[in-house]
Structure 1
Amino acid sequence: MSQTPDVNSSPLRWVVYGPDARPDGFEALRAEWNDLVRRARFNSLFLTHEWQTTWWEQLGDGALWIVAFRRRHNNELVGIAPLFLREIQNGEDAGKRQFNIVGCIEVSDYLDLIVARGWEKQVYAAFLQWLCSPEAPAWDIVDLCNLPEASLTYQELPEIARRAGVDVKVMQEDTAPQFPLPMRYEEYLSNQVDKKQRHEIRRKQRRAEREAAVGFHLVQDLRTLDSEVDDFVALQRASRPDKAEFMTPQMHRFFLAAARRLLEADILRLFFLTLDGEKAAALFAFEYDRRFWLYNSGYDPASHAHLSPGWVLLGYAIQYAIASGCRVFDFMQGDEEYKYRFGAHDYKVMRVKLRRPEPLG
């Protein structure tokens, strides 16, 4: 390494909670965690204590390393690096030790180092200091995936890392289509959806309401939640072969656990569309920080397909989001065509890979 910043000159100090720490970082920082997430430049649901701990308990693999960054003079928490370290099993980097953010890669759409707005440069510098210090475990790669467009991590961390002698690669990983929500549903249809699609949305909704008894159901009862999630999973698996492949028994357990935690926190929005009393479509979504996060969906193509239950339910969900005071409707990762038909525009999802240089010889 070269030009590693001087630890003593930093306004921050770090506290490390390694794999053998008791209590671990999640427990030690519980009281401060979500407050810091709310103070970040992008208040990500997927960085909340509820999501992070549930993901780790259900899907975590490797050794948990959580690093807290505090101001020296008053001990204020201004940064958290929630990481796990594992050995890569396959590919050209097989055998190398890689850090990932807790939640990476598959089911957490927006991740980042958790940093109070205005403290990004100081936290990034301290993070590199820790990585280059004897206190960090041996590592080869740091993979920071699913960074939202608003993050400064892919914009400012790379230069700090290069000055520390670390190789850096920055790339766009995906897109997350979304659109702003106005005050009224008719305003959304008139101003944000083109004429042809506006007609299609209205036509399909009216046809369903004309030809079937339509119900719109929001799950709110913890006592029935498990069976409701099972019904959602059945519809999700029926939608497409790739969705059925994704929803493994382990992933089903994760959805159940996440649903319980997020319903208790009044974040989960699990919707069903019923047609003549039968569940025909479902949305697994969240309402958080005045943003509607559409996470997953499902419908049975063999039942009521001619009534387009997925489209109808999505139209109702947009109406719900507007009535609830949400300001953004976020389809999250994936560039599926239907998202653009509903007026969404691309939002970048970035990735930064830090790589420790190979030793000479």
Structure 2
Amino acid sequence: MKVESVLELEVYTQANAFDKLKHEWNDLLIRSQANTIFNTWEWHSTWWNIYRPGDLWIVICRDNSGKLIGIAPWFIDQGRVVRFIGCEDVTDYLDLIIDKKHIDIVLGHLANFLKENCAMYDHLDLCNIPAASSTLEKLPHLLQNNLFEVRTIRQDVCPIIEVPPTWEEYLQSLDKKQRHEIRRKLRRAEGVPDKIEWYTVDSSQNIQVEIERFFLLMAASDENKQLFLQNEAHKAFFRHMIPLVFEKGWLRLNFLTINDEPTAAYLNFVYDNQLLIYNSGLKIENYGHLSPGILLLVNNIQYAIDQGYKVVDFLRGNETYKYRMGGKDTEIFKLSAWCKQDG
């Protein structure tokens, strides 16, 4: 049944908003175009509880029956800028969460709301919006009709693999050189006397111990990652978020060991029939010649094929290895807007 008008807009400015919306949030997310792990109640509530970089400003829309049909998960930072909760260091995709049947009416109400309340902020800066989002397509025009100056820019790329049915078809999709390299590395690993094994964290392991093991490998792999982990808030976010998504069945945290020594790790998520390659760790001092990071990544891609997932998503960033493994660019955008005062 088409909604002719929205019963009400509600604004939440206190952290207990997440408790109040917990049982409706993910149900709406599944009905929206924004259905990614990064827009789940688990991700948003954890991010806000850890970082809290401003004043919460969640705006929700309900239809005439009281059903939740829209969430604008915003906050206003200390510079009076409206941002998405989650933006942007640890989060790859963000968007308004709107029931697909009611996108136009909800966006219209939100645009009007932003106009009516523009004294509360200086501008909007909404990051990590996927190229296919209706927000990106429709909200700029609605804001311009409300006398906003609007700008959208390409922010980053998220390379993906559209997963074929078989491993052999995947290899054939790569260029000849890369196909040869993968086969060569797999043969080399099979031919050495070293004991190479991998495992995926499950209920038989202590999840907090495995998180700390991942931190060690993550810090060892890259100076930037080491610097990132020096921020205690980042580590706190992971320590809280990972068990939550583990309980939901969305976590795929796996390790490659060589001679029982943890050497490579991938922190991935499984959500909506996709494998999301989120972060990694690598210690190559003794075993770099065996390419442990590539071996574990290949194992994850094989897993996605075996499970029949539709996409392997490498998420934000144009690192070379993503393209060598068959990644093709998708794009995310930033939407910025400034409210012009009437007259």
Q: TM-score range by the shorter chain?
A: over 0.9
Match of 1:146 among 119, 128, 135: 128
Q: What is aligned with 1:84?
A: 75
The alpha-carbon distance between structure 1 residues 57 and 14, as it changes in their structure 2 partners (threshold 3 A), is same
The alpha-carbon distance between structure 1 residues 43 and 20, as it changes in their structure 2 partners (threshold 3 A), is closer
Cα deviation for residue 222 of structure 1 reads 7.3
The alpha-carbon distance between structure 1 residues 188 and 54, as it changes in their structure 2 partners (threshold 3 A), is same
CA distance, structure 2, for counterparts of residue 216 and residue 206 of structure 1: 16
Identity level (%): 37
CA distance, structure 2, for counterparts of residue 242 and residue 310 of structure 1: 17
Match of 1:216 among 185, 190, 198: 198
CA contact (8 A) 1:17 1:25 kept: no
Moved more, 227-236 or 207-216: 207-216
1:283 corresponds to 2:275 = no
CA distance, structure 2, for counterparts of residue 214 and residue 77 of structure 1: 50
Moved more, 340-349 or 251-260: 251-260
SS in 1 for 2:100: coil
Runs of 4+ with >6 A deviation: none
**What is the CA RMSD across the aligned residues, in angstroms?**
1.8
Q: What is aligned with 1:18?
A: 12
- Count of residues in correspondence between the two structures: 339
Q: Deviations over 1:90-136 (max 9, x none)?
A: xxxxxxx11111101111100000011132221111101212235x7
CA distance, structure 1, for counterparts of residue 29 and residue 186 of structure 2: 38
Q: What is aligned with 1:109?
A: 92
Match of 2:43 among 24, 38, 51: 51
Query: Where do residues 146-185 of structure 1 align in structure 2 (5 Å cutoff)?
Result: 146-185=128-167
Q: Which amino acid aligns with 2:171?
A: L
Q: Which amino acid aligns with 2:74?
A: L
Q: Which amino acid aligns with 1:45?
A: I
Q: What is aligned with 1:91?
A: none
Query: Where do residues 252-267 of structure 1 align in structure 2 (5 Å cutoff)?
Result: 252-267=235-250
CA distance, structure 1, for counterparts of residue 262 and residue 341 of structure 2: 56
CA distance, structure 2, for counterparts of residue 36 and residue 150 of structure 1: 19
CA contact (8 A) 1:294 1:332 kept: yes
The alpha-carbon distance between structure 1 residues 257 and 20, as it changes in their structure 2 partners (threshold 3 A), is closer
Q: What is aligned with 1:203?
A: 184
Query: Which TM-score applies when normalising by structure 1?
Result: 0.90
The alpha-carbon distance between structure 1 residues 171 and 335, as it changes in their structure 2 partners (threshold 3 A), is same
Q: Deviations over 1:48-104 (max 9, x none)?
A: 0111111111122111121111122x222211001111222xxxxxxxx11111101
Q: Which amino acid aligns with 2:197?
A: G
Cα deviation for residue 223 of structure 1 reads 5.5
